[in-house]
Structure 1
Amino acid sequence: MGGKVDVYIVDVYSVDMIGKLEELTLLACIRAGEDAVPSAIYEVMMVVGQPIAGFGAVYTTLGRLAKKGLLRERSVTDAQGRERRSFSITVSGRAALNESVGASTRIAGIAWAGV
């Protein structure tokens, strides 16, 4: 006892943090590419081999991220002539994603320090 204690301060409230599902959705959107449709984004998320969330939850999350300005939403016409929603990450979305991943990494580093 009586050893040195390191104190780390991580200001996780300096920006509006995104949730884990939002983070994963943004990452999947990047992987799916520009103007990705929800089904393509969901397919990327399912590659991990286990369900992260249901399609409805991901679809709702895409709309929420677009409303926050983290994704750009637009209407595209598919090969069958149907109107579909498509999404692309914005500069703000990349910044929020970088902040979220960075905060998780910093906190994980603190948690594992000295273990």
Structure 2
Amino acid sequence: MKTLDIRVTQADDRATVVINGELDEAATEPLKDIDLDHLSRSGCQDLAIDLGGVEFIDSSGIGALVGLRNRAAREGLSIRIDQAPLHVRRTLTVAGLDGLLGLT
């Protein structure tokens, strides 16, 4: 099992969440802990989720991403998925979430 690593950076009006490791049940709480209210109050308008280092994703990980998207929308933040590996892209597309999550 690979250790989950989540980093959040902000530059001007854009924040990036970089996720490395396995996006599964263990990712649920760390993704909930991202302070979107703080990002919004500090001028952030766009939230990019970099999944380039995600080695595995399951239904819990998908649910955590949807939850992050919903919280971001409540804060007035637009969201998009960047750098998703092919296996993650396929999973999100088959689940019908590519549009909702802004998969690029």
TM-score interval for Structure 1 and Structure 2 normalised by the shorter chain: under 0.3
Q: Whose helix proportion is higher, 1 or 2?
A: 1
Q: Whose strand proportion is higher, 1 or 2?
A: 2
State the TM-score, normalizing by the size of structure 1: 0.25
Q: Which has the larger radius of gyration?
A: 1
State the TM-score, normalizing by the size of structure 2: 0.27
Q: Greater relative contact order (Cα 8 A, min sep 6): structure 1 or 2?
A: 1
